[in-house]
Amino acid sequence: MPDFRYVGRSVPKVDGRLKATGSARYTSDLSFPTMLWADLLRSPHPHARILNIDTSRAQKLPGVKAVITGQDTPMSFGVSKQDQTPLARHKVRHVGDAVAAVAAVDMDTVREALSRIKVDYQELPAVFEPRRALAPGAPQIHQDAPDNVAGRCRYQNGSVEQAFAEADYVCQHTFHTQRMAHLCPEPHNCLAVWEDQDRLTLYLSSQMPSLASNMLAQAFGLPSSKVRVVTNHVGGGFGSKTLSRFPMDYVAPILAKRTGRPVKMGHSRAEEFIYSSFQPAYEINVKTGVKRDGTITGRHFQVISDCGGYASYVPAVTSVDGALQGVLYRYQNYLYEGTAVYTNLPYGGALRSVGSTQIHFAGEAQLNMIAAELGLDPVELRIHNATRTGDKTAVGAVVHSCGLAECLEKVAHEIGWKEKKADPRPNRGLGVGCGVHFTGIRYPGSPDADFAGAAIRFNDDGSVNLATSCVDIGPGTSTVLSQIAAEVLGVDLECIHVVYGDTENCPMGFGTRASRNTAIGGKAVMNAALEAKEHLLKAAAQKMNTDPRELEAGWGRVYLRSRPEEGHDIAEIVRFHRYRSNGQAIMTSCHWDAPSHGNTSFAFSFGAKAVELEVDPGTGRVKVLEVVAANDLGKAINPLGAVGQIEGGVYMGLGAALGEAILLDEQGRMQNANFLDYRAPTALDVPPIKSILVESNDPVGPFGAKGVGEMAMIGTPDAVAGAVFDACGQWITDLPITAEKLLSALRDR
């Protein structure tokens, strides 16, 4: 392994100083001269026809500059289906569906004006459970979906019937997973500014500015170059700040155009819980066949996901999870059937691992059940079936790098699996779970492409501007990309200035989703940097009257390989190259599309979790004592950042496992839309987390790197569920595993 100056080293965040001093600016910090404030009027009914909207009393209020309704928002938008309008036109489909909006001089005036809008509704029968929505005679939510199905997906390979016939043991279980909130610290918010009535800038707290801009341009009938999206620093995303999927993304520009003034709007904290496209609820049925020795012969997954009132990401998410379950183990007989169903609830989306944490929970919890039933060790059972490098999996994906078995071995060793299993203690339990996640994604209905862009420009002072299509929403993307650029170019890390989150100044790319920034964003940076370095060496060769092959770049200099003391500062070369007749700038760019080979993703991250916990039989309370998490991330470009991703992922996984849940009343109103009642784990709830980085060196990823951020979460609830069984003999099959559920199970036994 070559000795790298930056790659593979723990480097503090390049924007750490900005953030530690409070100087980093987020969209929520922005204000403009003459700016107006705006907000939405939301439906109190889950399903109702809009008969009339009277805005006259709102219009008359001094300070109100514009009031709009569905008649003023003619565009439709969506992801899997174009089934949404910014403001509801004919009917509302969930409590909180937006029906009108006001722009005014301050928020007090906005609120007063909203309260003066009178909407006449005719209430319609509503349906809140996917099973009921699928049943004959259920209320129909969308005209083009008589069965309330928003999307179906299917993956099939081999024959599961044959697999079950060949198995020594076949079992079938149903699991339920909860709605979970992203809880972005910075809520969804935006600020719209028009120039000349035909050029929009939307400051948007976004993970994916390029695609947000495309969706807005399409909706407004503008050339995409006329819609600029700027993110600034982003206070967390976790999959929620993707595309333009929210009423405000369209309403703010409409109000801004109508008033000729900048318009700012955003979610309140309570709205952010429920209207920022939470992780949807799933019902997951799994049937598995196993040989006596633990060999899995085949698996059949049936997933019903609850879209809510609009499809948004949910059909795509449901499908993606099918692609992933077919990659984890070596069995070839595979059937995955997903059904995404409309209900009269707020709409869901994708949360860190796009529902894969939930599907894994079902599959892996069941493997733990099988191990217990057959008297097999759950770690050995997994290693026995684990996908390996070079495997062609049941969904057709060829896995070019895979450290799954190593991850399992390492977590078991680190937590003391064998020793503790041999010497069990009362009310204590050990559990294991493992998983796979993609690095980048092509999903049905989206273009067959998965690219990132990078542009590199050497400045006169020898520093480098690196513009990327990726957005740093917190995980340290700008640091990792800086490391890659500095490594390849031979400049100091401090000389790299990363520019992101601006569609006017950054290359086009899919932005931050699907654990793709380090690997796909990084590969684009690497290729752009390799080309820039070639230019640099050629320029230096001219200045030094030598062959570029004799030269190397490093430590901010270009020097002779044979006599490193002989060379020039990069700044000198840049200026020499620019300021002369027929001079040139050293600027390169790269658009890198991840090779698919028919796969959904070019590479897959693998990982495993081992958990030790204690159950209090008197209260049902679970206390997690330790989590060991191993992630095959290909290559850790920045181990400090990677460990931060794993710890953050495990934390969210523990939230999913033990407490977090959006609770709805009988009309679909959220009952716990505040921090006190929602119960995300606090610093006191989080146990010690031991992170293990497994480097399988992907042949395609930059320096061997793959993704890490989402795989970090996967496997945690399954390991917790297994450990709870180990501790007290109870399987909890619906998340979260609350004290209430566990106590009730313990009492019933």
Task: Compute the least distance from the CB of residue 262 to another protein, in Å.
Answer: 16
Residue-level length of the chain: 749
60 exposed, middle or buried (CB, 10 Å; 0-12, 13-18, 19+)?
exposed
Q: Does residue 184 belong to the site contacting another protein (CB under 8 A)?
A: yes
Task: Compute the least distance from the CB of residue 167 to another protein, in Å.
Answer: 39
Which amino acid makes up residue 355? G
Note whether 431 and 368 are within 8 A (CB).
yes
Task: Compute the least distance from the CB of residue 714 to another protein, in Å.
Answer: 15
Q: Return d(Cα 399, Cα 388) in angstroms, integer.
A: 7
Beta-bridge partners for 174: 285
When the beta carbons of 73 and 206 are compared against another protein, the nearer one is: 206
Other CB atoms within 10 Å distance of the CB of residue 560: 15
User: Of these, 236, 378, 702, 736, which contacts another protein (CB under 8 A)?
Assistant: 236
Q: Does residue 587 belong to the site contacting another protein (CB under 8 A)?
A: no
Q: Does residue 25 belong to the site contacting another protein (CB under 8 A)?
A: yes
Q: Does residue 28 belong to the site contacting another protein (CB under 8 A)?
A: yes
Task: Compute the least distance from the CB of residue 16 to another protein, in Å.
Answer: 4
Return the range that interacts with another protein (CB under 8 A); candidates 14-22, 155-163, 368-376, 540-548: 14-22
User: Of these, 429, 641, 701, 707, which contacts another protein (CB under 8 A)?
Assistant: 641
When the beta carbons of 16 and 260 are compared against another protein, the nearer one is: 16
When the beta carbons of 379 and 629 are compared against another protein, the nearer one is: 629
Q: Does residue 508 belong to the site contacting another protein (CB under 8 A)?
A: no
When the beta carbons of 11 and 371 are compared against another protein, the nearer one is: 11
Identify the H or E element spanning 747.
helix 739-748
Which of 416, 434, 441, 487 shows the shortest CA–CA distance to 638?
Answer: 487
Q: Does residue 534 belong to the site contacting another protein (CB under 8 A)?
A: no
Beta pairing, strands 48-54 & 118-123: antiparallel
Q: Does residue 610 belong to the site contacting another protein (CB under 8 A)?
A: no
Note whether 709 and 607 are within 8 A (CB).
no
Return the range that interacts with another protein (CB under 8 A); candidates 370-378, 537-545, 610-618, 673-681: 673-681
Footprint on residues 468-497 left by another protein (CB under 8 A): 473-476
Question: What x/- string results for residues 237 through 276 when contact with another protein is judged by CB under 8 A?
Answer: -x-----------------------------xx-------
Beta-bridge partners for 381: none
Is cis: bond before 699, omega within 30 of 0?
A: no
- Measured at the CA of 500, the angle between CA 497 and CA 506, to 5 degrees, comes to 105
Identify the H or E element spanning 170.
strand 169-177
Note whether 469 and 510 are within 8 A (CB).
yes
User: Of these, 640, 739, 745, 746, which contacts another protein (CB under 8 A)?
Assistant: 640
Return the range that interacts with another protein (CB under 8 A); candidates 124-132, 398-406, 494-502, 677-685: 677-685
Identify the H or E element spanning 421.
helix 417-422
User: Of these, 19, 118, 152, 292, which contacts another protein (CB under 8 A)?
Assistant: 19
Q: Return d(Cα 627, Cα 43) in angstroms, integer.
A: 43
The three-class DSSP label of residue 122 is strand
Is cis: bond before 62, omega within 30 of 0?
A: no
Q: Does residue 671 belong to the site contacting another protein (CB under 8 A)?
A: no
Task: Compute the least distance from the CB of residue 683 to another protein, in Å.
Answer: 4
Token digits of residue 344 = 């009269």
When the beta carbons of 328 and 689 are compared against another protein, the nearer one is: 689
User: Of these, 70, 403, 521, 644, which contacts another protein (CB under 8 A)?
Assistant: 644
Q: Does residue 29 belong to the site contacting another protein (CB under 8 A)?
A: yes
Q: Return d(Cα 515, Cα 521) in angstroms, integer.
A: 10
Task: Compute the least distance from the CB of residue 398 to another protein, in Å.
Answer: 33
User: Of these, 676, 747, 748, 749, which contacts another protein (CB under 8 A)?
Assistant: 676
Cα–Cα distance list, 660 to 269, 491, 663, 716, 721 (Å): 16, 45, 9, 14, 15
Return the range that interacts with another protein (CB under 8 A); candidates 91-99, 256-264, 444-452, 467-475: 467-475
Beta pairing, strands 98-104 & 263-266: unpaired
Q: Return d(Cα 708, Cα 714) in angstroms, integer.
A: 10
User: Of these, 40, 95, 104, 183, which contacts another protein (CB under 8 A)?
Assistant: 183
DSSP letter for each residue of 200-223:
EEEEE--S-HHHHHHHHHHHHT--
| Count of residues interacting with another protein (CB under 8 A) | 53
Which of 38, 74, 50, 96 shows the shortest CA–CA distance to 310?
Answer: 96
Which amino acid makes up residue 340? A
User: Of these, 359, 594, 643, 694, which contacts another protein (CB under 8 A)?
Assistant: 643
Task: Compute the least distance from the CB of residue 13 to another protein, in Å.
Answer: 6
Footprint on residues 683-712 left by another protein (CB under 8 A): 683-684, 686, 688-689
- Measured at the CA of 189, the angle between CA 72 and CA 226, to 5 degrees, comes to 60
Q: Is 117 left (phi over 0), alpha (psi -120 to 50) or beta?
A: beta
Return the exposure string of 247-264: e unless at least 16 CB atoms fall within 10 Å of the residue's CB, then b.
bbbbbbbbbbbbbebbbb
When the beta carbons of 185 and 444 are compared against another protein, the nearer one is: 185
User: Of these, 16, 424, 583, 598, which contacts another protein (CB under 8 A)?
Assistant: 16
DSSP letter for each residue of 663-693:
-B-TTS-BS--SHHHH----TTTPPPEEEEE
Task: Compute the least distance from the CB of residue 731 to another protein, in Å.
Answer: 27
Return the range that interacts with another protein (CB under 8 A); candidates 8-16, 220-228, 281-289, 412-420: 8-16
What are the phi and psi torsion angles at 308 (to 5°)?
90, -160
Task: Compute the least distance from the CB of residue 447 to another protein, in Å.
Answer: 29
Task: Compute the least distance from the CB of residue 651 to another protein, in Å.
Answer: 3
Task: Compute the least distance from the CB of residue 138 to another protein, in Å.
Answer: 36
User: Of these, 5, 9, 12, 76, which contacts another protein (CB under 8 A)?
Assistant: 12
User: Of these, 7, 8, 15, 454, which contacts another protein (CB under 8 A)?
Assistant: 15
Question: What x/- string results for residues 59 through 98 when contact with another protein is judged by CB under 8 A?
Answer: ----------------------------------------
Return the range that interacts with another protein (CB under 8 A); candidates 42-50, 371-379, 434-442, 650-658: 650-658
Q: Return d(Cα 359, Cα 353) in angstroms, integer.
A: 10
Expressed in percent and rounded to 5, the helix, strand and coil fractions of the chain are: 30, 25, 40
Task: Compute the least distance from the CB of residue 180 to another protein, in Å.
Answer: 12
User: Of these, 647, 669, 697, 734, which contacts another protein (CB under 8 A)?
Assistant: 647
Note whether 152 and 305 are within 8 A (CB).
no
When the beta carbons of 50 and 692 are compared against another protein, the nearer one is: 692
Q: Return d(Cα 344, Cα 95) in angstroms, integer.
A: 8
Return the range that interacts with another protein (CB under 8 A); candidates 36-44, 178-186, 213-221, 693-701: 178-186
User: Of these, 674, 729, 740, 744, which contacts another protein (CB under 8 A)?
Assistant: 674
When the beta carbons of 241 and 568 are compared against another protein, the nearer one is: 241
Cα–Cα distance list, 16 to 11, 232, 395, 463, 641 (Å): 11, 15, 41, 19, 12
Task: Compute the least distance from the CB of residue 205 to another protein, in Å.
Answer: 10
Identify the H or E element spanning 14.
none
User: Of these, 74, 125, 185, 729, which contacts another protein (CB under 8 A)?
Assistant: 185
By the criterion CB under 8 A, which residues form the site for another protein? 10, 12-13, 15-26, 28-29, 182-186, 233-236, 238, 268-269, 473-476, 640-641, 643-644, 647-652, 674-676, 680, 682-684, 686, 688-689
